[in-house]
Amino acid sequence: MFAVGLVVFSLVFLALDYFVMGAQGLSLVFEH
Amino acid sequence: MMLVVFLLAVLPFSVAEAAEGVQVTVPELSSSDYPVIAGVNSRVAVWLAAQLHLWFAAFVLAVPIFVFIIESIGVWTRDQRYDEMAFEFIKVSITAYSLTAILGGLLAFSLFIFYPQLMTYLTGVFSESMFYYALLFFAESVTLYVYYYGWHWLQGGDKKWIHLTLGLLLNAVGTLLMLLANAWLTFMMSPNGVDTAGTFTGDTWGAIHNFLWNPINLHRVVANVAFGGSVVGAYAAFKFLSASGEDERAHYDWMGYNANFIAITALLPLPFAGYYLTAEIYEYSQQMGITLMGGVFAWLFIIQAVLIGTLFIAANYYLWCGMGRSEGAHRYYPYIKYIAFVIVASFLVWFTPHTLVLTNEELKALGGPYHKYLGSLGIMPAKNTAVNLMILFTAVSFLIYRRSNKLPTVSWVQTGNALQIALFVAGIANILILGIYYGYFTNTVYKVAASIPQVLTTLVVIVISTVIDSFLYKGAEEVAPLRWGRVPDRSQYALFLLAVAFTWLMGLMGYIRSGIRQHWHVTDVFRDNSVDAFTPTLGYAANVVSIGVVIFMAMVVFVFWISQVSSKKSYPEGYWKTA
């Protein structure tokens, strides 16, 4: 259940980062 | 009550009507235009009067806010202890209320004596709002006195609802008073409703609704509640330490716990209200923003960081001591050291300065102005990360405090705990990625932008974990009844420390807020030409604020003492003649 929770909450926070900083902010992570 | 309704209805119209044909201009002053009283430094006199007035005003405006909330909880739960505690809190604020008015008078006199031309200009701009401010004081006094003196009279059924309505009205009037006073001081920082030469032609609403008005309004409401909570916490600690019986100790321990809870609940969102205010100051004037954070005042923010770190450590320490009230707390004791480690480490990061004041030799030894490793901890991404972690781990302290006396009865305990841990791990990972990756390895724009999802992550974790916990511990059994009063005396000194640190913080930060106008009475339009039109050294400013803190604390002790005296009675034998 810990692993499931970790995946779910990570997605929640990723969505939050995307919502606030936009796609450009997130794509920086993958550029590097 | 009618007066308030009347004022709220009439004020906007009267402001609009009175605006016709008004013209208030800025005078050209020289140092001889400022009256001097031998042996009195005008700036320090006004500074101390304003600061003391503000401390008391913040206290008497904040107390009715949480008294109203506590009284409502009492009505909702029908637990009379809440009602009694709310009454005791408001009782403390009554003496403070007269002191607020006296200090307000002292401030007004000081301003008119030492800065007459400035006050002529400001009263010209704000004549209506100052007049209504004075009238509102009647409404504030009447509602406060009926609310306080009618507490035991207005009990039960409809009478209690009338009393609650009075409490709500008292808060509405108090908040309105603060909003008006905030308009005057924010006008001095970010003038509006006047032309570039400062000439006012009647746009009163424009002058009130200036750029920094709402950011200050928000920041002050939240900060006042945190400050008020800490002062009544000190009152409870004072009563706890001087209590004679076990019942009394238990009562004041419970009161201190609630006061601390209020202070910390308001402290958690406070850094974000502060960031919002600072961002708006930058938005209004980059020059003002840089003076604030990057210029002469920056070092005071290091002191601020130390004091806020002290607040967090003291608040957590108080909670850990408070776990001793429970028989089941020993299950959570092993975790405390880890929480303490994270909070202290975050605290150290938070007050690591970016640019040090160094001698040439030190500079040479260091190999430059920034330390090889610690230098990178001096910039905002490190501090944002640290403060978010500090807040999250304070929330963990609250979590284990709440859990310490409970035994869950639901079937999904392990699942719930796993989810809680996953939530915190994912949240902390996100905060670290946002702080470290965006803070150090991307464009500067993202350094600033990443601070917003960091804050939101903290809030999301706190909200979701509280929700999970409330379901997890629904219908939970108690390990044993809580032993209120079973806390070490040293925990009470943590409450004193909170009150002193809050007071000091308000004084220092208030000085910065006012000081960033530098040599202007009203930024960019009304120049200060007095002999004091310079920014004093930080040591001097800190000394003035510290003297203010000592005077305030002495007055607060007087308020605590007088509230104790009022409940004492002497029966001298043979003094009065018998009938």
Per DSSP, the residues of B196-238 read: TT--B-S-HHHHHT-TTHHHHHHHHHHHHHHHHHHHHHHHHHH
Q: Is A10 on the interface with B (CB under 8 A)?
A: yes
Q: Are B213 and B182 in contact (CB under 8 A)?
A: yes
A13 with B426: Cβ contact below 8 A: yes
> Which pTM value belongs to this model?
0.86
Of B324, B352, B348, which is closest to residue B336 (Cα–Cα)?
B324
B430 with A17: Cβ contact below 8 A: yes
The C-alpha of B469 sits at a distance from chain A's nearest C-alpha, in angstroms, of: 15
Once rounded to an integer, what is the mean pLDDT over residues A1-13? 93
Report chain B residues whose CB lies below 8 A from the CB of A31: none
Closest residue to A28, CB basis, from B429, B442, B453 = B442
The C-alpha of B415 sits at a distance from chain A's nearest C-alpha, in angstroms, of: 6
B414 with A1: Cβ contact below 8 A: yes
First to last CA, chain A: 32
A28 with B427: Cβ contact below 8 A: no
B415 with A1: Cβ contact below 8 A: yes
The C-alpha of B449 sits at a distance from chain A's nearest C-alpha, in angstroms, of: 7
A9 with B418: Cβ contact below 8 A: no
B446 with A25: Cβ contact below 8 A: yes
- Number of CB atoms found within 10 A of residue B293's CB: 16
Distance, in Å, from the CA atom of B222 to the CA atom of B262, rounded to the nearest integer, reads 11
pLDDT for the residue B405: 92
Report chain B residues whose CB lies below 8 A from the CB of A32: 441-442
B423 with A29: Cβ contact below 8 A: no
- Cα nearest neighbour of A17 on chain B: B453
pLDDT for the residue B20: 58
B379 alpha carbon, distance to own chain's centre: 25
pLDDT for the residue A20: 85
Lookup result for tokens 């305030």: B552
User: If residue B522 lies in a helix (H) or strand (E), which one and from where to where?
Assistant: strand B520-522
Lookup result for tokens 């949240």: B427
pLDDT for the residue B157: 86
First to last CA, chain B: 46
Q: Which residue stretches of chain B have pLDDT < 50?
A: 1-4, 13, 16
Give me the count of residues in chain A. Answer: 32
Of B508, B518, B515, B510, which is closest to residue B545 (Cα–Cα)?
B508
Instruction: Please name the residue ranges forming H helices in B115-156.
Output: 116-125, 127-149
Q: Is B524 helix (H, G, I), strand (E, B) or coil?
A: coil
Residue B77's alpha-carbon distances to A6, B80, B402, B471, in angstroms, are: 37, 9, 19, 19
List, in sequence order, every beta strand (DSSP E) within B443-488: 477-478
Residue B289's alpha-carbon distances to B189, B277, B285, B295, B297, in angstroms, are: 12, 10, 6, 9, 10
pLDDT for the residue A28: 62
Residue B259's alpha-carbon distances to A14, B95, B482, B553, in angstroms, are: 37, 19, 18, 18
Residue B434's alpha-carbon distances to B57, B241, B276, B567, in angstroms, are: 39, 45, 19, 55
Backbone angles phi, psi at B515, to 5 degrees: -70, -25
Residue B435 has what DSSP assignment? Answer: I
